[in-house]
Structure 1
Amino acid sequence: MTGLTLDHVIIAVHDLEVATADFTALLGRSPSWRGEHPQYGTRNTLFRIDNTYIELLGLGGGAGDPRWSGEIARFLDAHGEGVYALALGTSDVDATARDTRERGLEVIDPADGDGIDVDTGARREWRNAMVSLKSTNGARLFFIQHKSPADALPLAPAVVGEGAYVQRMDHAVVLSADMEASRRLWGDALGARLALDRTFPERNTRILFYRLRDITIEISGGAQQTEEGLGKPDRLWGLAWGVGNVEATCARLRAAGIEVSGPRRGIKPGTLVATVKGQHAHGVAMLLIEHTPESFKPESREAHGEAFDNAPPSRAFTVKALDHVVVSTADLDATVARWASTLDLHASESWQPEGAGFRLAKLPAGNAFVELVQPLTADHRVAQTIAERGQGMYSISIEVDSLDTAVADLRAKGVPVSDPEPGIWDGTRVARINKSAANGVSVQLIERP
């Protein structure tokens, strides 16, 4: 079965505008997207962080299909605000639906969907498949395949200082009254990798850690199965946010009037944590977590009991060379001529990739090259960078021996990095390290055939 990711988390809220303001303050990031769905009678706000995105979902935007708006209303009436659903990402939703049906899940036929940002008019398309609540112990899950490019949903811009905003999701917590049923769902049916199965008899607690790429799904329940727990629904309960500096984040939140306890040492050696409390959390149990270098040492993992023995052995990736540097320009032809006359670097090729909103030129320089890029539309990210900072150095590209190994290794160290995708140069694959992990420098990893 195609490997699953935690594509996004849906949080149901009563007042979308209030929740949007609160999450902007909580995350330290402004929204990536604001959408309306008149056909469903719902509205949403999206915040894309480094390894997933958060969807705040509220009623409004038209009468819509009562099957959708009514379901949200019933959830809010019964449970109040909180985590409503987990969206599991896949590269082939039809294959995933077929495979999980064969494993015993009841999955509704995949259907196409789309959304429009009410602020920009941008459009995104996807295909998803809902999983019946009867198959998921009552936890709302669905599979989603994005048909639009990853950058169709832009990264939520940070609005606070370095280290004080939420960078990524560390883990999501599910409360279970039937741990064996949860194990069958996440392990047997969904095929997620079990990283930890640990019991704490003194606390009558059992926890299961399932890994979806670099995000953990933590299932928590009783160490001893009770008869009354059999058949009771699971509860999507909490989210843990990874931050660069938990002390700075706590200070920022307190200054904004948000109740926080901590920071304090986490259970895992080398971590610092804090708890977000009060109405600003909108019914979600929230933890802030900072991983210090100590938390990545083998002895720290052993002390925490993280059983990674069932995972394939990892090896460090190798940096092969500086592949190229990217320089932004508003006038490609003039810049090519200037580099030729000034540095005697001449363009070996100049072209516009099919369907791309930019032109580029390649200027070989020894074993590396300079890539000059001219955006063709004002909304292109390179154009936005030029508008903010002027023309100049845009990014560096580093060649690695194995992109998949590099991404896995960096994520294991807590470094936010995008999923691998095809590059613009023939046969290449690339992934991008978030600027927050590289002193504000945009770094691209590239694998060549």
Structure 2
Amino acid sequence: MIAALDHLVLRALFLDGAVGAYETLFGRRATNGLFRLGNVGLAIEDEASTAHLSAMVFATGSLDEAERLLERRGVPGVRGNDRLVLAPEATHQVPIALIQHKESHALSPLVGPDEAASISALDHVVIRSPNPERAVAFYGGRLGLDLRLDRSNPRWNARLLFFRCGDLVVEIAHDSSRGLSDEPDQLWGLSWRTPDIARCHARLTKAGVELSEPREGRRAGTQVFTVHSHTANVPTIVIGGLGRW
């Protein structure tokens, strides 16, 4: 039913500032507030409140068939403006919409000449959930995403669920110390891929972006660094290397 994550929506108080910040972060130019990377888009929209990730928009081969299937699975939606917006009570308050799958889009143009130092794709999007079994039922059972890994680690104080969606992962993170509840889920953070993490780190440092030093990632064969500015309040890491969950 779901072919890919088409794009994410970020709403920001200062639209031009947020677009400029992400042009610096990605090393790419936006077109009318929209970035296209190798496997996902990021649309930045004006919002008169605190900046935040505001929606996930999935692509499906047939919007009509997806609507019928989701209705049978207890996930109602509303059609309008060429998309199906799922009911918040069914998605546990994570804003989710589906659109008809389209032809692949060209990458947003580079700001500079160094492709290896740019952000090339999304590695995973993070959703924080107080109820991981509820998340399995929704993302795996109702949306039909492929649950590839279910991992708990006392050192992380977390249970992490990894759902494959095309060439990226929808990660569900549960804070084990808080126990279980029926509180809403939260669309929370992003992990971006770069072809060369050392060159990307050097480019962003030169551009004045606040970063941690690169460190070993949780996946063998990867390195990551945390981005502390130029993200419009979205918790963000950049990952390099060939590791996969």
1:243-322 alignment, distance < 5 Å: 243-278=194-229, 280-292=230-242, 295=243, 306=245
The answer for the alignment partner of 1:381 in structure 2 is none
Distance 1:181 1:249 in 2: 37
Distance 1:259 1:202 in 2: 26
> In the alignment, does 2:187 pair up with 1:236?
yes
Which SS does the other structure have where 1:30 is aligned?
coil
The match for 1:58 is: 46
**1:271 Cα deviation after fit:** 0.4
Matched, 1:130 2:85: yes
Residues 198 and 208, structure 1, Cα contact 8 Å, conserved in 2 = yes
Q: Which amino acid in the other structure matches residue 246 of structure 1? A: I
Q: Select which of 53, 56, 64 maps to 1:83.
A: 53
Match of 2:35 among 21, 36, 47: 47
Q: CA deviation at 1:224?
A: 7.0
Residues 332-386 of structure 1 show CA distances to partners (whole Å, capped at 9, x for unaligned) of xxxxxxxxxxxxxxxxxxxxxxxxxxxxxxxxxxxxxxxxxxxxxxxxxxxxxxx
Amino acid at match of 1:130: V
The percent of aligned pairs where both chains have the same amino acid is: 31
Q: Partner residue of 2:19?
A: 20
> What is the rounded CA distance, in whole Å, between the counterparts of 1:199 and 1:150 in structure 2?
36
Q: Which has the larger radius of gyration?
A: 1
**Residue 116 of structure 2 is aligned to residue 158 of structure 1:** no
Deviation at 1:287, TM superposition (A): 0.8
2:84 is the alignment partner of 1:96: no
Q: Which residue of 2 aligns with 1:181?
A: 134
Determine whether 1:6 maps to 2:5.
yes
1:105 partnered with 2:75? yes
Q: What is the alpha-carbon distance in structure 1 between the residues aligned to residue 189 and residue 201 of structure 2?
A: 18
Structure 1 residue 57 displacement after superposition = 0.9
Q: CA deviation at 1:194?
A: 0.3
- Relative to the length of structure 1, the TM-score reads 0.52
The one-letter code matched in structure 2 to 1:9 is L
Contact 2:2/2:143 (<8 A) preserved: no
List structure 1 runs of 4+ shifted beyond 4 angstroms: none
Give the superposition deviation at 1:185.
0.9
RMSD: 1.7
**Partners of 1:179 and 1:222 within 8 A in 2:** no
Task: Quote how far apart the aligned CAs of 1:253 are.
Answer: 0.9
User: 1:191 aligned to 2:144?
Assistant: yes
SS in 2 for 1:283: coil
How far apart, CA to CA, are the structure 1 residues paired with 2:240 and 2:198? 9
Higher relative contact order (CA 8 A, sep 6+): 2
Give the whole-Å Cα distance in 2 for the aligned partners of 1:107 and 1:146: 17
1:212 paired residue among 143, 146, 165: 165
Give CA-to-partner distance per residue, 1:49-73, whole Å, 9 cap, x none: 11111000114xxxxxxxxxxxxx5
Distance 2:213 2:189 in 1: 17
Q: Is the 8 A contact 2:9 2:56 kept in 1?
A: yes
Kindly state the Cα deviation for residue 202 of structure 1 after the two structures are TM-superposed: 4.6
Partners in 1 of 2:137 and 2:29 — Cα distance?
38
> Match of 1:284, as an amino acid?
V
Gap change, CA 1:177 and 1:145, over 3 Å in 2: same
TM-score by length of 2: 0.94
**Which residues of structure 2 form unaligned runs of 5+?**
none
CA shift for structure 1 position 98: 1.1
Equivalent residues, number: 244
Pair 1:222 & 2:175 matched = yes
Aligned pair in 2 of structure 1 residues 158, 224: CA closer, same or farther (>3 Å)? same
In structure 2, distance between residues paired with 1:184 and 1:146: 24
- Structure (1 or 2) with the greater helix fraction: 1
